[in-house]
Amino acid sequence: MNNTDALKNIRIVLARPSHPGNIGATARAMKTMGLSDLRLVLPRHFPHPDALARAAGASDILENAKVVDSVSAALDGCVLAVASTARHRELRHDTMDARAAAREALDAAAAPVAILFGNETAGLTADEAANCRIWARIPTDAGFSSLNLGAAVQIFAYELRMACATAAPPPVAEFAPATIGQVEQLYAHFEERMTVSGFYNPASPGRLELRLRRLLARARLEAEEVNILRGFLTTLEKPKRR
């Protein structure tokens, strides 16, 4: 994960939110993803204990949130605004999904960029959305598109953070993989024990060898796991405990 510094320039704007719980959920969603700049346009109730409760450990985002009286004021200084909207409109702007919009937003985030969310019930007005060059949609089920406001902010914030990861470093192998030779020795050990137990008849092998080799290859065994399994097989060679 690199380039997360750009997230400092991403501003979340809620236009006329009705439910203070959603403001708190927004603050928490932002902070988990490394965002911090919240602007509220004419919130119905703010500050409010429900906002504080839902913010959990993100109360600092609420304390630093700026309350303004218009979307234009909330977008002050921004070089790009993205509208989150589920609507189809006659006269479209650039429309894209949230993932593509997050990339565009991040690409522009050398300067402030806003993501704008409308009221829970009414969404964004045409005037509010007109401020935005990009209209972005979160794909939802055709039968039920009613995303919660805090959930919508969470998805955008998450996509912004994911967009920061241009090239993830390869995972560090914590455990040593078994060599092919070690797996081969394990296979031979299995076969020997299976023959002794009567499970496997080398004179009539069928597909057992193929099946077992295939399984062992797919398991991507670690060296230590080969040792464990061979340790077990070795105990089978000894007289059973009574």
Binding residues for a copy of itself, rule: CB under 8 A, are 1, 4, 25, 28-29, 31-34, 54, 56-58, 92, 95, 99, 138-141, 143-148, 150-151, 154-155, 158, 161-162, 165, 171, 174, 190, 193-194, 196-200, 208, 211-212, 215, 218-221, 224-225, 228, 231-232, 234-236, 238, 240-241
CB nearer a copy of itself, residue 41 or residue 160: 160
Question: What ranges in the chain are assigned the alpha helix state H?
Answer: 20-32, 49-55, 59-63, 71-74, 98-107, 126-130, 149-164, 180-197, 208-218, 223-235
- 158 Cα distance to chain centroid: 6
CB nearer a copy of itself, residue 16 or residue 28: 28
Taking the complex as a whole, the smallest distance from the CB of residue 13 to a copy of itself amounts, in Å, to 19
222 backbone dihedrals φ, ψ, rounded to 5°: -90, 160
* CA distances (Å), origin 156, targets 55, 102, 144: 17, 7, 19
Taking the complex as a whole, the smallest distance from the CB of residue 74 to a copy of itself amounts, in Å, to 23
CB nearer a copy of itself, residue 16 or residue 31: 31
Taking the complex as a whole, the smallest distance from the CB of residue 177 to a copy of itself amounts, in Å, to 12
Taking the complex as a whole, the smallest distance from the CB of residue 126 to a copy of itself amounts, in Å, to 17
CB nearer a copy of itself, residue 111 or residue 215: 215
Taking the complex as a whole, the smallest distance from the CB of residue 190 to a copy of itself amounts, in Å, to 8
Strands 134-137 and 94-97: parallel
Please give the DSSP secondary-structure letter assigned to residue 50. Answer: H
CB nearer a copy of itself, residue 73 or residue 195: 195
216 backbone dihedrals φ, ψ, rounded to 5°: -65, -35
- The radius of gyration computed from the CA coordinates of the chain, to the nearest angstrom, equals 29
CB nearer a copy of itself, residue 9 or residue 154: 154
- Residue carrying the six token digits 């794909």: 139
Other beta carbons within 10 Å of 211: 10
137 backbone dihedrals φ, ψ, rounded to 5°: -125, 135
Taking the complex as a whole, the smallest distance from the CB of residue 73 to a copy of itself amounts, in Å, to 27
